[in-house]
């Protein structure tokens, strides 16, 4: 997994039909930015753990979701 | 997912038989260029969301498409 | 696979339900940091071998785990 | 997908049994070099479109081929 | 696939039970180092072709191996 910090959110009104409802968060990971699906309700500034690829899509059990990046947890602050 | 900006389109007259009909767009992502299948009719300059790998191919339900990058949405301008 | 050195551990109290119980270790790999599930009980400073992607998730046979990085072995010191 | 330019060909007399017969081309992609299976008969200097990962292996329908990079088309010159 | 040069071998006495018996070779690929399973008996200094991801694991037909990098051939010297 990779660890990143939530920096914002994106909205997409024009999208394919299989995109699940839910938040798409911008996450900065080592200077790069990825967009991850957030099933946990994370906030800007939160440190999160992201899984990628087909493993991320596997989270959606009743639909075939086009999601290749998923927030699986929020990192506890030390 | 990754976010990028559509910069053009490519055509391929000589291709394998399983390539689905549809637009193959050039998208610039953080200085790199990838080619993504576009089921949404996006235009040059549009900011798009791309899913990659086997998750992208999963969009095609009746054929086994050789597509590893798919535009799943257009990012709303703020 | 990639080889890395364990540099710490992360905890996530707020996580999705499918996250398996077990240690999530920080591993430095060629200057980058990834978080890998550790089924072996590795310690900080240990050199480990990591497998990634759906192959990592395949380790979990009775659940569909959202794990895309797995420690599969500890490298013997020479 | 990624776009690259064919720069050569490699031969491998000593290989695993499941490697399909056919050309393995060297392709330069943004300064890096990858080796892709070519089902189309592309020539050196040709601009090609490559799909990667399990999607590439999916091209081989009767065998389980160890191919993670496949040329799916030749880019039309403008 | 990627091409690299064998630079050594690693041993792992402490490993998960599903790791197949066989050589784990260090391979340098464009300045980076990866560890690949070698079913061919390659030697240090040999130029090899590596397939990655779930395609690599697919080589193991009777077990679910945690292998995401596999040497599929040795490159013929020119």
pLDDT at C38: 98
The complex's ipTM works out to: 0.97
Buried residues in D8-47 as b, exposed as e (16+ CB within 10 A): eebebeebbeebeeebbbbbebeeeebbbbbbbebeeebb
Average pLDDT over residues E2-29: 98
Query: Could you tell me which residue, D48 or E63, shows the higher pLDDT?
Result: D48
CA distance C73 to D1: 33
CA distance A19 to B72: 7
Q: Do C47 and C74 form a contact (C-beta atoms < 8 A)?
A: yes
Strands A69-74 and B2-10: unpaired
Q: E10: buried, middle or exposed (CB in 10 Å: 19+, 13-18, 0-12)?
A: middle
| Other CB atoms within 10 A of residue C48 CB | 27
Assess whether pLDDT exceeds 90 at residue E62: no
Token digits of residue E62: 């009777």
pLDDT at A21: 95
Chains in contact with D via at least 3 Cβ–Cβ pairs below 8 Å: B, E
Confidence of residue D66 (pLDDT cuts 50, 70, 90): very high
Nearest residue to E51 (alpha-carbon basis) of E62, E63, E39: E39
Supply the CATH classification number for the domain D2-74.
2.40.50.220
Confidence of residue D42 (pLDDT cuts 50, 70, 90): very high
E76 contact residues in D (CB cutoff 8 A): 10-13
Segment C36-75, tens digit of pLDDT: 999 999 999 999 999 999 999 999 998 899 999 999 999 9
Mutation to test the A interface, candidates C12, C64, C71, most A Cβ within 10 Å: C12
| Other CB atoms within 10 A of residue C43 CB | 11
Average pLDDT over residues B4-25: 97
Assess whether pLDDT exceeds 80 at residue A34: yes
pLDDT at E7: 98
Nearest residue to A68 (alpha-carbon basis) of E20, B3, E56, D48: B3
Confidence of residue D7 (pLDDT cuts 50, 70, 90): very high
Q: Which residue has the tokens 């930015």?
A: A33
pLDDT at B77: 87
Question: Is A65 an interface residue toward C (CB < 8 Å)?
Answer: no
Segment B25-50, tens digit of pLDDT: 999 999 999 999 999 999 999 999 99
Question: Is B53 an interface residue toward D (CB < 8 Å)?
Answer: yes
Cβ of B1 within 8 Å of Cβ of A54? The answer is: no
């Amino acid at each position: 997994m990779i660890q990143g910090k939530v920096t914002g959110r994106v909205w997409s009104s024009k999208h394919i039909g299989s995109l699940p409802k839910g938040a798409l968060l911008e996450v900065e990971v080592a200077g790069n930015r990825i967009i991850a699906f957030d099933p946990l309700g994370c906030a800007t500034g939160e440190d999160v753990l992201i899984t990628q690829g087909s493993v991320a899509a596997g989270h959606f059990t009743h639909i075939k979701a086009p999601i290749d990046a998923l927030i699986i947890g929020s990192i506890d602050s030390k």
